Homo-oligomer: A and B are copies of this chain.
């Protein structure tokens, strides 16, 4: 899938088919995170791939905004260093992973930002790291690829040369 088509069509997916995602697709998604650029190339992240059904169920219980994680084919838990640019860097890595997954027909959604300390215990994540997000992944149940996005018009979020000057 072309990059812009992926950006244009990707939607939050919260209902997943009970269908295995092939290991090579799982790995490609994690590689997309690993290969993303970061400030001073620090790569202040760690990706934990969770496929165990019991762990997915627990993640769904712990993440107040993402109970649907329980039904995912797998999840990637994104842990970050407590350094100044780690949130920015890992957010870029998350976007790389979500777009790569989408281009393979796999949906996801960013689950955060509360209840994540208990996730650290569950996954034995070291104290010096924080959990930024849980990304549940799976094949969408619904045909949502053609869905229309609800976004502010371009004129409201973009300007030309200086703030407030009409774009285009």
Interface size class of A (residues with CB under 8 A): 35 or more
Measured in the bound complex, the distance between the Cα atoms of B75 and A161 in whole Å is: 9
CB-based nearest B residue for A1:
B3
Report how far A94 CA is from B159 CA in the complex, Å. Answer: 16
Looking at A85, A96, A103, the one whose CB has the most chain B CB atoms below 10 A away is: A96
B168 touches A27 (CB 8 A): yes
Among A28, A43, A103, A158: residue with most chain B CB under 10 A: A158
User: Which residues of A are in contact with B by a Cβ distance under 8 Å?
Assistant: 1-4, 6-8, 10-12, 23, 27-28, 30-37, 39, 41, 43, 45-52, 55, 79, 84-85, 87-89, 91-92, 94-96, 98-100, 102-103, 110, 112-113, 122-126, 132, 149-152, 154, 157-164, 167-168
24 examples of A-B residue contacts, CB within 8 angstroms: A3-B32, A3-B102, A4-B32, A7-B35, A10-B37, A30-B154, A31-B154, A34-B152, A35-B151, A36-B95, A39-B113, A41-B151, A46-B158, A47-B158, A49-B167, A51-B160, A87-B88, A88-B132, A92-B92, A95-B95, A99-B99, A123-B162, A124-B164, A125-B163
